[in-house]
Structure 1
Amino acid sequence: MARTAKIDQAAIGFSLICVVHCAVLPLAAISMPFLGLVADAEWVHWLFTSLAIAAAIMTFSVAHSARQPSFVLPASTGVALLLLALVAEPLGFDETLPTVSGAVLLAGAHLFRLYRNH
């Protein structure tokens, strides 16, 4: 149980980093141009999305309670939105909405599971 709690906490952290990166970093980049380079770096998007998805998959694979619809539905939708955000720019639309929505859904699924089990 403690192991899955740590995985849930990591997934929540990675998801929140996605939200901060998407919502706050561009505003901070206005005052500090170096942050603009980090905000636009494609590897950063891939890294945090990969970490958030890996934590969700680990939770699903090690915890029976993660196979309940109350976790699977919002977590799967969140993962799909994060993946959509990775290809948003080449498809011609902004990545902010799918990133923030996906990260909030994924973090919410982990939070709900974490607090329901403890």
Structure 2
Amino acid sequence: MKFPQKRMDQAAIGVSMLCILHCIFLPLMLLLVPAIGLQFLADESVHQLLVCIALVISLVALSIGCKRHKAWHVLIVGIAGLACLVFAVVFGHDLLGELMERIMTVVGSGLIIACHIRNYRLCAKTTCS
């Protein structure tokens, strides 16, 4: 496995974890953030930025990995996870409410994390460059 592929999968897992943490702990952050001067973390644009980063890194890492190991189901499930994240950010709060938006974010991020772990393992087994 090439070094950049490994790093991209790790970065995508990290960004997806940040999405989950941001979503789950946002109510707590709304209480604590003003006290420690990090108000920008409570802004919805942080979630949007994380999703944009996850989109780019995930699509590149999964595409490269799938070209190597030919397990295209990994890419398909990853795209489904990304679609959940995008839907949650763009429409979730207005159409589904706050709780369902969070659930969709956690489900989408979980799918992305699982896909990148699978992608990483499949790429590690592949000997082609």
Change (3 A) 1:67 1:43: farther
1:93 aligns with 2:97: yes
How far is the alpha carbon of 1:76 from its aligned partner?
Answer: 1.2
1:56 aligns with 2:58: yes
Sequence identity (%): 28
Deviations 1:59-100 (A, max 9, x none): 134331475233113201101100110111122422101111
How many Å separate the matches in 2 of 1:3 and 1:93? 38
How many Å separate the matches in 2 of 1:81 and 1:35? 27
Q: Are 1:60 and 1:67, in contact at CA under 8 Å, matched by a contact in 2?
A: no
Unaligned runs of 5+ in 2: 125-129
Q: Are 2:63 and 2:75, in contact at CA under 8 Å, matched by a contact in 1?
A: no
Q: Are 2:62 and 2:78, in contact at CA under 8 Å, matched by a contact in 1?
A: no
**Aligned to 2:45, what secondary structure does the other structure show?**
helix
Alignment of 1:43-82 (within 5 A): 43-63=45-65, 64-65=67-68, 68-82=71-85
Partner of 1:5: 6
Partner of 1:111: 117
How many Å separate the matches in 2 of 1:48 and 1:6? 17
Task: Provide the TM-score with structure 2 as the length reference.
Answer: 0.77
How far is the alpha carbon of 1:23 from its aligned partner?
Answer: 1.1
How many Å separate the matches in 1 of 2:116 and 2:4? 13
Unaligned runs of 5+ in 1: none
Amino acid at match of 2:85: L
Aligned-CA RMSD value: 2.1
Task: Provide the TM-score with structure 1 as the length reference.
Answer: 0.83
How many Å separate the matches in 1 of 2:45 and 2:92? 15
How many Å separate the matches in 2 of 1:79 and 1:42? 17
Larger radius of gyration: 2
Count of equivalent residues: 117
